[in-house]
Amino acid sequence: MNQLESLKTSTTVVADTGDFEQIAQYAPRDATTNPSLVLKAVKMPAYRPLLERLLAAHPREATADIADRLLVAFGVEILKRVPGRVSTEVDARLSFDAAASVAKAGQLLALYREAGIDPARILIKLASTWEGIQAARRLAEQGVKTNLTLLFSLPQAAACADAGVQLISPFVGRIYDWYKKAAGSAWDEAAHAGVNDPGVRSVATIHGYYKQHGFRTEVMGASFRNTGQILALAGCDLLTISPELLAQLAASPEPAPRVLGTDRLPVAPMERLRLDEPAFRLALNRDAMATEKLVEGIRQFEADALALERLIDERRAALA
């Protein structure tokens, strides 16, 4: 049993990629995508025909609509290679508009139905802003499952659980990045490794909070910088892992024993948080790391969505 197989005994492994040709070799249950990953994949010559077929089939559609079709096309191909679910992200430019996010989710699900995909296999991905969480609440009331991303704090996680969100994706690596940058030359890598990594500690706290209060929302650690962060979260509900790190785990003969929920990573008892909009915004504002990484992530995804639309326009012009 290699390290990846060992990890799968305590955690559901999810592939974090838009490169669906890489997925099968690691046998994940689910897969996640985002605009950055799809943009990276569609630039590869192997995936260019996918975009060209969409442009040929829908020559008069707006660029934004072609982008939605492209995201869904990647999702459809991924679902041919995994037995579970795929996450498809709502445009980051709608992160502060709950009604528009709900409408966009409906459009994406309609495209999946058009392709013959059961909506139960789709997780609609939304940013963990107040508006994104309220959009998820409305979608949950409609029976739509969501994945709340760009999540960096317990208040965000608590609000997601109260909204009936199916799954959250706390970002381990980006939390680690912030604290490392903030510490500068004083950063001690060895002292902040494994269970002492600030991103790992954040996910452990959220996971413990959910288990203590009986929330059914799934916790999926995301955005890893190294396998040490992954192994320190063995036992988390799910972990979404890049192909590069999946390869490293598969190449290692070492075991991956459960850590989360054991004495190796204890979590103190916590009171339940009940947050209305003002309390949520205040709690988030008090956390400089979470506030900065949330807005930075939205800006990055917006930039990649715009870059994807430019690529579509360039390819349309080349084919004209």
Relative orientation angle of helices 154-162 and 288-319, to the nearest 10 degrees: 70
Residue located via tokens 């988030």: 284
CB atoms within 10 A of CB 220: 26
Burial class for 212, CB neighbours closer than 10 Å (0-12, 13-18, 19+)? middle
Burial class for 184, CB neighbours closer than 10 Å (0-12, 13-18, 19+)? exposed
Select from 1, 8, 3 the least CA-distant residue to 29. Answer: 8
Question: Catalytic site residue 293?
Answer: no
> DSSP letter at 46?
G
CA dihedral over 179, 124, 6, 246, signed as positive or negative: negative
Q: Which amino acid is at 313?
A: D
Out of 125, 145, 181, 211, the active site residue is: 125
- The answer to whether 78 and 29 are in contact (CB under 8 A) is no
Task: Round to whole Å and give the CA distance between 147 and 283.
Answer: 21
Residue located via tokens 């040929």: 56
Torsion of CA 201, 205, 206, 211, to 10 degrees: 140
Q: Give the 3-state secondary structure of residue 301.
A: helix
Q: What does the block give as tokens for 62?
A: 């707006």
The residues that are catalytic are 125
